[in-house]
Amino acid sequence: MGSIALKSVEKWFGNVQVIKGIDLNIQDGEFVVFVGPSGCGKSTLLRMIGGLEDTSRGAIAINGTDVTDHPPSKRGLTMVFQSYALYPHLSVAENMGFSLKVAGAPKSEIKERVEHAAQVLKLTDFLDRRPKDLSGGQRQRVAIGRSIVRDPTAFLFDEPLSNLDAALRVEMRYEIAKLHQKLKRTMIYVTHDQVEAMTLADRIVVLEYGHIAQVGTPRELYESPANLFVAQFIGSPK
């Protein structure tokens, strides 16, 4: 239910072409990582999939339905960003349930979904706390919890760990890998961190200024980089 297909997707900002015709098929349940240097178009491409940027040319389909002109709310996806502003005056449970409340979901359903998300993320003991009484990693988990409660078809992550210190980043990387194993949902994860990409991905998409330099499993990219750009970026010995 979470397949995503990009067909000849382009993005132009004025007369500058930032995404240069991308074809990509993501399978249901796959963990795909977009990597590449700063400014190569990772966030723009992710935002186009999420519907936060419109698509200048080409088409995006989710589960076989063309969603190119659908607003974000009609795509069934959820985005997790690096800045995870939580509402300081709300508890963890209220933060996680907020979007469901706004959408008018019944209280019992909100409670059930928040408790499930808390269980998955090991936040059950923290549901009554305020964000200021949480660690950085717990706060990031609450931010992910806000997405889980909405039961999305796919998760889109834009460098969700880049504001965390090194030790926490490693811990959260494990948490996200476990989350993927538990939920078995499609995840697209943007990072400029090669180690994150190599450890999390089923497949890595290496972006080079608006086009795909190579797509493959971490092992394929490491052992057979398509060109010097990929080799240098992945840190391959070749």
Q: How many residues bind ligand ADP (CB under 6 A)?
A: 10
Q: How many CA atoms lie within 13 A of 66 on its CB side?
A: 7
The answer to whether residue 138 forms part of the interface with Mg ion (CB under 5 A) is: no
List the one residue from 23, 39, 87, 211 that touches ligand ADP (CB under 6 A). Answer: 39
Question: Which residues in the 140-179 window bind ligand ADP by CB under 6 A?
Answer: none
Of positions 5, 18, 35, 206, contacts ligand ADP by CB under 6 A: 18
Instruction: Round to whole Å and give the CA distance between 92 and 68.
Output: 34
Among residues 18 and 96, whose Cβ is nearest to ligand ADP? 18
Residue 147, CB half-sphere, CA atoms under 13 Å: how many?
24
Among 43, 140, 186, 194, contact with Mg ion (rule: CB under 5 A): 43
Strand partners, 26: 4
- Token pair recorded at residue 106: 């019944």
Task: Please identify which residue in 41, 97, 145, 216 interacts with ligand ADP, judged by CB under 6 A.
Answer: 41
Q: What b/e readout covers 147-183, taking b as 16+ CB neighbours within 10 angstroms?
A: bbbbebbbbbbbbbbeebeeeebeebbebbeebbeee
Q: Which stretch binds ligand ADP (CB under 6 A): 21-29, 41-49, 120-128, 148-156?
A: 41-49
* Contact call for residue 80 and ligand ADP (CB under 6 A): no
CB 106 within 8 Å of CB 183: no
**By CB under 5 A, what part of segment 10-29 binds Mg ion?**
none
Closest CB to ligand ADP among residues 47, 141: 47
Using CB under 5 A as the criterion, which residues of the chain lie in contact with Mg ion when the complex forms?
43
